[in-house]
Chain A
Amino acid sequence: MSEDEERYSDTEQPEGDESLMDVATLTKELDDARQRAEDYLISWQRAQADFTNIRRRLEQDKAEAIKYAEGDLILKLLLVLDDLDRAMKHAPPDLKSDGWVQGMEGIARKFKGVLEGAGLEEIAAMGLAFDPTLHEAVACLPGPEGMVIAEHDKGYRFKDRVLRPSRVAVGSSEPAQEIIA
C-alpha cells in the first residue's frame, strides 16, 4: 500500500496531526486538480481556436482554388497560344490573303477569345516603362533607358494575378547583356 492510499484509509479517524495532514494533502490535490483543469481549459481553447482558424483557412483556400482553378490549365495552354502567335507572325507575306491562312487566323483569334472569356488578359509591355511586377527582363539592349523595347513572349494576367510575366528586352545606354539562362 502506498503512502497516499494509507492516508485515504485513515480518513475515518480525523484526529490531531493526521487530520491536518489530510487537509494539507487534500489542499495539494485540489491545487493540482485546479492546475490540471486550467491546463486542459487552455489546451481546449487552443484546439478550438485552431479548429476555427483552420476552418476559415479551408474556406479561403477553397474559394481561391475555385477562383484560380482554371489558371493552371490556361498557363499550359499559353504555350499553344504562343505557338499560334508565332505561326501567324511567320505566315509568308504572299499567303496573307490566302483563304486557308485567314481561316487559321480565325482559329487563333477564337482560341484567344475563349481564354479571355475565362478571365485571361494580355499584359501591355511594348513601349512602356519596365515594371518587374509585370515584366521579366530577358535581355538588355541599346535603347531608351528602362523602357521595354522588344517583347519575346506576351505576358498574361488571370483574374487579378499575373499568370505569366511578359518576357521583354529592356533599353539600356550600357552595352548589351546576356540573356539569363
Chain B
Amino acid sequence: MAKAVGIDLGTTFSEIAVMQAGEPAVIPSAEGGNLTPSYVAISKTGERLVGQVARRQAIVNPENTVFLIKRFMGRKWDEPAGRELSVQEDAKRRPYKVTRGSNSEVRVAMGDKEYSPPEISAMILQKLKADAEAYLGEPVTEAVITVPAYFNDAQRQATKDAGQIAGLNVLRIINEPTAAALAYGLDKKKEETVAVYDLGGGTFDISVLELGDGTFQVKSTAGDTHLGGDDFDQRIMDWLADEFKRDQGIDLRNDKMAMQRLKEAAEKAKIELSTVQQTEVNLPFITADASGPKHLTINLTRSKLEQLVMDLVDKTLEPCRRAVEDAGITAAKIDEVVLVGGQTRMPLVQQKVKEFFGREPNKGVNPDEVVAIGAAIQAGVLKGEVKDVLLLDVTPLTLGIETLGGVATPLITRNTTIPTSKSQVFSTAADNQPSVEIHVLQGERPMAADNRTLGRFILDGILPAPRGLPQIEVAFDIDANGILSVRARDKGTGKEQKITITASSGLSKEDVAKMQKEAEAHASEDARRKDEAEVRNNADTMAYQAEKMLRDNKDKVGADLNTEVESKIGAVRSALQGADTEAIKRASSELTEAMQKIGSAVYQQSPPPGGAGPQDSSSGGEEPPKPPDEGTVEGEFREV
C-alpha cells in the first residue's frame, strides 16, 4: 500500500510527515534530523546535491547552489514588489544566476543548464520522497503540500507542478496556517476564528482563518519577510561582542572564526533561556592578544535577553493588529491562537501573543513540525485513513479490583485504547479461604473506597488450601462499545463466575474530569493511605510467616525463643487492631529481629522451599518482596 505524505516545502527548510497507525509522525532525513535545508546544487563534478550536503558546500560553489527558490515560485520576471521583494531586486541578491525566460518566467542556472523554479523545488521534493521511502520501506506516491496563505493561484500551481515533476500525485495544496490548525484538531470544532502566529528563522506570518463546516477560509494575512529567530540571535551576538569589548578591549567582530563560535553560542543560550532563568556563555580561547589567550565568560539572564529582543517581539504585534483589522474583527473575537515556528518557544513571545489575543495559545505540537504534521493529517483524511468510524475510543478512567487492605489494584489503566483485554492472577488472603469477592472498581484513586463501584460478585468453591496457593485468574475485557465484562476463574477447579457491566461508559465528560481532578487533589493523602495499607499487609504477612516458622521448626527452637516470638507476634496482631501505623511498623521490626533468631537456631537446615511464585500473566507484581504465604484477613483477596 503506497503511503500519502504531508510536506512542508519551506523557504529555508522542508519537512515530510506521514500518518502511521492513525498518528502523524515526522520522517527523519537520511542524514539524521527532521529538517532538510531547501538547498539544491550541482557540484563541480556534475553531481546533484540536495539538502544538508548542498548547504555545506554552498560557499565553495555559490554560483551552482540554489536556495530560497520558494521566493521565485510561480512569479513572473516583471513582477513588482508585494509582500516579497520584486523578482528582479531579489535576483540581484542571489549568488546564482537568475534570468528571464522566453515567457517572462523566472529561470535559474545551475551547472550548465537552466531550470524553472518548480524543477528546483521538485529536486527537494524528490529527496524528501526518497528519504521517506527508505524510512517507510514502501513507495510514496501521493502528497499534500503546504504553501503560505498569501500565495496566489500561479504560485500554488507552480508548487503543484513541482510535486508532479517529483513523481508525486498532489492530492491537495493547503495553506500553512490551515495545516497548523489541523494539527491541533481545530477542524473538529464548530464555527470559530483562528489566528495562526508563525515566527520562524527568517520570516514572520500572521493569518486569521475562519472555520465553517470543517473547512478553513483565510480571512486575512500579514507579516514581515525579514523578521525571525535569526534577528534574535544577532541581538545576543552583538551584546556579547559589546560586553567582551568593554571587558577586554578586543572587538571580536573583526575575527570571523570567533563570530562563528559566538553565533552558535548565542543560539544555544537563547534556547536554554526558554527553560531556565540564567545561563553562562562560556567560550574559552575565543581570541588572543599580546598578553595571551582571552576567554569569553558572560552570564545572560532571561530578563536581559528579553530586554535585548523586546522591540523585535513588539514588531510582530503591528502585523497582528493589521490582520485582525483586515479580517473585520477585533482581537477579542479570536477563539483560538496557534503557534508555529521555533522562535515561538520563547516565553516572552508566548506572553506577548497571549496578551494581544487575550487567550492562551495552543501549544504542545512541536512548532517546527506542526505544519508538516497538519499536512500529513490532511493527506490521511483525503486517503480515507483518518475515518471517524475507525477512530478508536479510550477508557477514560482506570479499571481494577479491590485487593487486600482495601487497595485498588488497576488492571486496565486510563487512556488505554479499546477494545482491549487484560488478565492477572490473584490468590487468597487466608488459609482455607472458601471464596473471593471480586469488587470491580473505576477511578484513579489508590484506595478502593474512594473509587466508583461498577459491580461485585463472589467466586466460591475454592478448595481448602493455605493462603497464597489458589490461583484465581481475573480477566477484564472491554469491547468496542465500552461494555466491560469481568471474569474470575479458579485455575485449580476450573470454576468461574462473570459479570457484564454496560454502565462503565455511562459517565459524562464532566464526571470523568471531576474524578480525575479529585485524584490529583488527593494524591498525597492517597499515597499515605496506600502506604499504610502496605505496612499493614506486610505486618500481617510477617505475623503469619512467623507462626508458620515456629510450627515448622518446633523441635529446633528453644522454649524461651518460642515464647519471645509468640509474644512479638501477639504485639503485631494487637497493633494491627489499632490505627497507629508507627506502632505497627515498630512491632513488625521487633518481630523481624526475633525471627532472625529463629533463623540462627535452624541455621544448619536448608531453607524451606518457597510457595507458588508470581504467575501473573500481564503485570509485574507491585508487592514488596515477601514470601508467598502470608496474611490472615478472612475473606479477602490478594495479588500473587
Contacts and interface: CB of A to CB of B under 8 A. Distances in A.
Interface of A: 43, 46-47, 49-51, 53-54, 57, 83, 86-87, 89-90, 92, 130, 132-133, 135-140, 146, 152, 161-162, 165, 167, 170, 172, 177-181
A179 B53 contact: no
Contact of A146 (B1, B44, B53, B62): B44
A53 B20 contact: yes
A90 B295 CA distance: 12
A161 to B, nearest CB: 6
B474 to A, nearest CB: 26
B32 interface: yes
Q: How many interface residues does chain B have, given as a range?
A: 20 to 34
A138 B58 contact: no
A177 B62 contact: yes
Contacts of A140: 59-60
A140 B56 CA distance: 12
Contacts of A50: 20-22
Contacts of B21: 50-51, 53-54
A132 B57 contact: yes
B142 to A, nearest CB: 16
A136 B59 CA distance: 9
25 contacts: A46-B1, A53-B20, A54-B20, A54-B21, A87-B285, A89-B285, A92-B292, A130-B57, A132-B54, A132-B57, A133-B53, A136-B56, A137-B56, A137-B57, A137-B58, A137-B59, A137-B60, A139-B256, A152-B257, A152-B260, A161-B32, A177-B62, A179-B256, A179-B257, A181-B260
Contacts of A137: 56-60
Contacts of A57: 20
Interface string B4-46: 0000000000000000111000000001100000000001100
Contacts of A161: 32
B252 to A, nearest CB: 13
A178 to B, nearest CB: 8
A45 B259 CA distance: 57
A86 B59 contact: no
B390 interface: yes
Nearest to A91: B293
B130 interface: no
B285 A86 contact: yes
Nearest to A171: B60
Nearest to A179: B256
B219 interface: no
A50 B285 CA distance: 54
Contacts of A181: 259-260, 263
B257 A165 contact: no
Q: Interface SS of chain A: helix, strand, loop or mixed?
A: mixed
A87 B59 contact: no
A51 B49 CA distance: 36
A43 B390 contact: yes
A180 B21 CA distance: 42
Interface of B: 1, 20-22, 31-32, 43-44, 49, 53-54, 56-60, 62, 256-257, 259-260, 263, 284-285, 288, 292-293, 390
A87 B284 contact: yes
B20, B44, B57: which has the most chain A beta carbons within 10 Å? Answer: B57
A90 B293 contact: yes
A162 B56 CA distance: 13
Nearest to A133: B53
Nearest to B392: A47
B49, B57, B59: which has the most chain A beta carbons within 10 Å? Answer: B59
Given A43-B390, A90-B285, A152-B260, 12 more contacts: A47-B390, A50-B20, A53-B20, A57-B20, A86-B285, A132-B56, A132-B57, A138-B59, A138-B260, A139-B59, A170-B60, A181-B263
B68 to A, nearest CB: 14
Contacts of A152: 257, 260
A140 B270 CA distance: 29
A49, A135, A138, A178: which has the most chain B beta carbons within 10 Å? Answer: A138
Contacts of A165: 56
Nearest to B288: A90
A86 B288 CA distance: 11
A165 B27 CA distance: 22
Nearest to B230: A181
Contacts of B59: 137-140, 170, 177-180
B391 to A, nearest CB: 12
Nearest to A46: B1
Contact of A83 (B43, B58, B285): B285
Contacts of B60: 130, 137, 140, 146, 170, 172, 177
A146 B57 CA distance: 10
A11 B256 CA distance: 92
Given A46-B1, A53-B20, A86 B260 contact: no
B32, B44, B259: which has the most chain A beta carbons within 10 Å? Answer: B32
B289 to A, nearest CB: 12
Given A130-B57, A152-B257, A162 B285 contact: no
A81 to B, nearest CB: 12
Kindly list the 5 A-B residue pairs having the minimum CB-CB distance in the complex, ordered from nearest.
Answer: A132-B57, A86-B285, A136-B56, A54-B21, A132-B56
A175 to B, nearest CB: 12
Contacts of A136: 56
A37 B44 CA distance: 60
Nearest to B138: A53
Nearest to B59: A137
A136 to B, nearest CB: 4
A167 B22 CA distance: 41
A178 B293 CA distance: 25
A50 B390 CA distance: 13
A140 B284 CA distance: 26
B268 to A, nearest CB: 9
A87 B284 CA distance: 8
A49 B292 contact: no
A118 B113 CA distance: 46
